[in-house]
Structure 1
């Protein structure tokens, strides 16, 4: 069983950028685990991978994740509308 995991996606070695995703089981949320995990991973990406830009997409209703990313010095650069398909559209 895992408690949490974090992944690197859409890595671009030319522009030194990537996207992160993370999941923490609900019983371990709001305990500081996510903050530590994200910041250790970001430090690793900055030092070892030399990434200059890391992005993360989060549901606006996920207030805890929005706050976590803000605490980790992410900047909200906008809202992606119609980014994912919801419901039965066809």
Structure 2
């Protein structure tokens, strides 16, 4: 799997001409895209963050998850993950992730979260990594726990998990 950091250009394509996203990513894009909570409102939010944050915001928002078939080399957009922005003043970042239904239960969410945690942990200014999921989402809870997160509370009805270093 390959993770590709999104940019303002990617998001503009998604919002204006979604069919061109496949060309930009050099990957097949399902008609079911986007997935999960990554919807038009989220895209517009991230685009605004890129436009206001400039180059410093690169890498601190969405990442596209591309599966690469080991035999054919075919590239397929299977999900996304990323951060809700650069670290705050306390050194905290929050991650989110989503995998298209047809690609779930194959370990991709675990791999996305693992990569996001590794990437964030490579920066000295990061002191904590958090994630949220609904109490009913057993699969997401398992993904977080298997990546070293522990449940630490509830925020607005969602479970709050924090990465344990």
TM-score over 0.5 for the pair: yes
Instruction: Show the 5 A alignment for 1:19-58.
Output: 19-48=94-123, 50-58=125-133
Alignment correspondent of 2:78: 3
* Per-residue CA distance 1:49-79 (angstroms, 9 max, x = gap): 6422111110011100001101111110112
**Count of residues in Structure 1 that have an aligned counterpart in Structure 2:** 83
Distance change in 2, residues 1:64/1:48 (3 Å): same
Higher relative contact order (CA 8 A, sep 6+): 1
* Per-residue CA distance 1:23-68 (angstroms, 9 max, x = gap): 1001111101111111011101101464221111100111000011
Greater CA radius of gyration, 1 or 2?
A: 2
TM-score (norm 1): 0.80
Distance change in 2, residues 1:29/1:12 (3 Å): same
Distance change in 2, residues 1:82/1:74 (3 Å): closer
Aligned-partner Cα distance in 1 for 2:109–2:124: 21
Alignment correspondent of 2:49: none
Q: Unpaired runs of 5+ in structure 2?
A: 1-28, 30-76, 159-165
Alignment correspondent of 1:18: 93
Q: CA deviation at 1:81?
A: 4.6
Q: Unpaired runs of 5+ in structure 1?
A: 84-90
TM-score (norm 2): 0.46
Aligned-partner Cα distance in 1 for 2:80–2:152: 25
Is the 2:134–2:157 contact (alpha carbons within 8 Å) kept by the matching residues of 1? no
Between Structure 1 and Structure 2, which shows a larger proportion of strand residues?
2
In angstroms, what is the RMSD of aligned CA positions?
Answer: 1.8
Aligned-partner Cα distance in 2 for 1:49–1:68: 25
